[in-house]
A and B are shown apart, each in its own frame.
Chain A
Amino acid sequence: NAGVTQTPKFQVLKTGQSMTLQCAQDMNHEYMSWYRQDPGMGLRLIHYSVGAGITDQGEVPNGYNVSRSTTEDFPLRLLSAAPSQTSVYFCASTQGAAYNSPLHFGNGTRLTVT
């Protein structure tokens, strides 16, 4: 079982470049979300989606865009990378409302912006 798959595992960008972090899940989960993890900050929610075509902002959405055209995929786009976006990014999915359903996480994308 693949679960939640994130690509790439590592990425180095220069300031101002754009890129898309990919996230795919094969569990037919409705809910998907993106977190970033920084030293001393825990995980913070960036954007989330409660189904195809529906997205909303989390705690730290600035500088990131998302879309959800299919149930399986939830890409995260950085339009103009900044050094402050250097972080480890995790995608997660869950079947039901997350307050009562376990989140399944991918293994992360480590992004460095120089």
Chain B
Amino acid sequence: DAKTTQPNSMESNEEEPVHLPCNHSTISGTDYIHWYRQLPSQGPEYVIHGLTSNVNNRMASLAIAEDRKSSTLILHRATLRDAAVYYCILHQLGGANAGGTSYGKLTFGQGTILTVHP
């Protein structure tokens, strides 16, 4: 299974941009890159996902390298509420086919603990 590598922790100051890197050198052509974050005592929260092109949404931007072996989650202006564990995940199509569909499995690694300083 393709795996991701993220730094254990990163720090940022409030209102500054944050670039969270993720390496996935064994990514396959059909793997989607997903980012989730988890605040203390809460379930993971979806942030963004993409396949090949860079993606933007109201929460963040996702920059994907041309060879797709790495990606970067960009928080344009960090706030204290962005302090969380950020997971970079490759979504692999797989699992048993059931009813004509297949369920892709998300494998969560260790993530990056982001600390935001006021």
Contact = CB atoms under 8 A, between A and B. Distances in A.
Given A42-B110, A50-B101, A51-B99, A99 B43 contact: no
A113 interface: no
B43 A90 contact: yes
B99 A54 contact: yes
Interface in A64-113: 90, 92, 97-100, 102-108
B7 interface: no
Interface residues of A, number: 30
Interface residues of B, number: 29
Dominant secondary structure at the B interface: loop
B102 A97 contact: yes
B103 A31 contact: yes
Interface stretch (B13-21, B44-52, B65-73, B74-82): B44-52
A91 B105 CA distance: 14
A103 B93 contact: no
Given A42-B110, A48-B103, A59-B105, A98 B44 contact: no
B34 to A, nearest CB: 8
Contacts of B49: 100, 102
Contacts of A54: 98-99
Closest 8 CB pairs of A and B: A105-B43, A102-B46, A99-B104, A43-B108, A42-B108, A99-B91, A54-B98, A56-B96
